Amino acid sequence: MTNPVPNAGVHPAAAAGRFTFAGSAISVNRMGYGAMQLAGPHVFGEPADPDEAHAVLREAVALGVDHIDTSDFYGPHVTNRLIREALYPYPDGLVLVTKIGAWRDDKGDWILERSADFLRRSVQDNLDRLGLSQLPLVNLRMGGPEDDVLEPMRTMCEMRDEGLIGHIGISTVSAEQLARAREIAPIACVQNHYNLVQRADDAMIDALEADGIAYVPYFPLGGFTPLQDATLNEVAAGLGQSPQAVALAWLLQRSPNILLIPGTARRSHLRDNISAAALQLPPEALARLDALAG
């Protein structure tokens, strides 16, 4: 559910309004921050500039970000440690959303795993490194449309009932997997790959909006392959904005249940990203960007 936000001028991240996660009392500004890029290259190892990483986190909160997306497998163990170092004790209202279902080997390879024991260890790792007694919202990361979602969802429900996690989200899922997951438990949010040029989830976003469920696109700016599009560049130039800010503003105007978690390791990029919360694209710009779907 989208809610108006006071003090949007004081806190720029609030300019796009707020959203309350389905089935919860958790309300956040629609413009958030993704901590993944705070780790080293390819989300592995330590940051090149730890002081800048801490500064980015503190400035994000100062600008009104109250939704930070992280995971203990970023680094691994790096972004959660940086978040705690920079922000603990956490300000009231800050929501730390984590993801489980994978780990990194000593070469930095991503290993997907969803056994009950592993999911439990992952939740405990996140709790310990973030210094929390409960994770407000945890996304279960699936690997592909062929993966079984029922057994890991049952484990998620057990941890929710034990008070280790507050609410359940799910990531990298098909519409069919999402439907099966919702048969097991309420889903507070979906985190899938979606951006201006990657729009396979259009129907899912619309269906989730109707049910008041958040959709949180990962790689909103293209991720490891940044968005490169001539139309986007032309529209941005005509508006006197960066292509990144325009791409984020398009997502915010795409649907009121979309929450953004753009990541960066630099304060200058952070400010530009957050400026998109107040950017209203005119109809002609929207029409040109919408047409990119074809």
- 202 CB-side CA count, 13 A: 9
Q: How far is it, in rounded angstroms, from Cα 202 to Cα 192?
A: 11
74 flagged as catalytic? yes
State whether residue 67 is helix, strand or coil. Answer: strand
Instruction: Let me know: does 136 contact 167? Beta carbons within 8 Å.
Output: yes
Instruction: Let me know: does 176 contact 147? Beta carbons within 8 Å.
Output: no
State whether residue 135 is helix, strand or coil. Answer: strand
* Residue 267 exposed, middle or buried by CB count within 10 Å (0-12, 13-18, 19+): middle
Q: In sequence order, what DSSP letters do the residues of 208-259 get, joined into one string?
A: HHHTT-EE--BSTT-TTS----HHHHHHHHHHTS-HHHHHHHHHHHH-TTB-
Residue 135's contacts (CB-CB under 8 Å, 6 or more residues apart) are: 96, 98, 123, 126, 127, 164, 165, 166
Q: How far is it, in rounded angstroms, from Cα 56 to Cα 58?
A: 6
Q: How far is it, in rounded angstroms, from Cα 143 to Cα 204?
A: 18
Q: In sequence order, what DSSP letters do the residues of 81-99 get, joined into one string?
A: HHHHHHHPSPPTT-EEEEE
Pull the structure tokens for residue 146: 């062929």
- Of 74, 194, 215, 218, which residue is the catalytic one? 74
Supply the residues annotated as catalytic. 74
